[in-house]
Amino acid sequence: MTTALLEVEDLRVAYGKIEAVKGISFTVAEGSVTTLIGTNGAGKTTTLRTLSGLLRPVGGSIRFDGRTLGSVPAHRIVSLGLAHSPEGRHIFPRMTIEENLLLGAFLRKDQPGITEDIERAYTLFPILGERRKQAAGTLSGGEQQMLAMGRALMSRPKLLMLDEPSMGLSPLMMQKIMATIVELKAAGTTVLLVEQNAQAALSLSDQGYVMQTGRIVLSGTGAALLRDESVRRSYLGED
């Protein structure tokens, strides 16, 4: 039986009087890739920001690895094993690649482990290792996305949340990012993916949820959602 690493129940999030997430419930199984898809404004990014403690819910519950997060602060959530690679990457452009990676390990004290994980990031993304002393702002968009993912992995997360990792990338770079997600899953990292490219995301997902205007309107395995007529029409550009 698969264990649920993350359990979200009736989650509601508001910006002032505007409710952006309207009572959603979903689970992320340990060792899986789970995807949230939907149009802009559906509430996907708000959901991830709430899970990582950057926003506070107005209702519902979040349980991660058996613990209720509730009012747990963001830095503590990271230390519990939930990492967030945000939309837009948010790297530090004037710092080097290696300095950016080290920031991902700011809560850790195990220097040998930190060194090991930096080398792991360079193994996952060899271009980062080749340019480790280069300013991060000089990287291409795809390379910056690799750095953002590598930085999130430096906390050794049990669950890695990725928000729009393929945004603005070339098809070739997008394929590299998606292949890396598959590789991370094979290595034991659970992934919660928010992604505009529904075809690519659902193709590698164990489970998917479709969000519209703050609600989950459809769920199923990635393969089942790819076959679903409404998904194909609305998100895959098929008539």
DSSP structure string for the chain: -PPEEEEEEEEEEEETTEEEEEEEEEEEETT-EEEEE--TTSSHHHHHHHHTTSS--SEEEEEETTEE-TT--HHHHHHHTEEEE-TT----TTSBHHHHHHHTTTT---HHHHHHHHHHHHHH-HHHHHTTTSBGGGS-HHHHHHHHHHHHHTT--SEEEEESTTTT--HHHHHHHHHHHHHHHHTT-EEEEE-S-HHHHHHT-SEEEEEETTEEEEEE-HHHHHH-HHHHHHHS---
The domains found in the chain, sorted by start residue, are 1-81+159-175+189-239 (3.40.50.300), 88-156 (no CATH)
Given a cut of 60, whether residue 120 has pLDDT beyond it is yes
pLDDT of residue 176: 86
Largest interatomic CA distance in the chain: 54
Task: Please return the burial class of 101, using the count of CB atoms within 10 Å of its CB with bins 0-12, 13-18 and 19+.
Answer: buried
Q: Which of 72, 28, 30, 27 is nearest to 158 (CA)?
A: 30
Q: Answer whether residue 9 shows pLDDT above 60.
A: yes
User: Given pLDDT bands bounded at 50, 70 and 90, which one contains residue 71?
Assistant: confident
Rounded Cα gap, residues 136 and 90, in angstroms: 11
User: pLDDT digits over 159-207, tens only?
Assistant: 999 998 888 888 888 888 899 899 999 999 999 999 888 999 999 999 9
With beta carbons less than 8 A apart as the criterion, state whether 179 and 125 touch.
Answer: no
pLDDT tens digits, residue range 121-145? 999 899 999 999 999 999 988 889 8
The reported pTM is 0.90
**What tens digit of pLDDT does each residue of 208-221 get?**
999 999 999 999 99
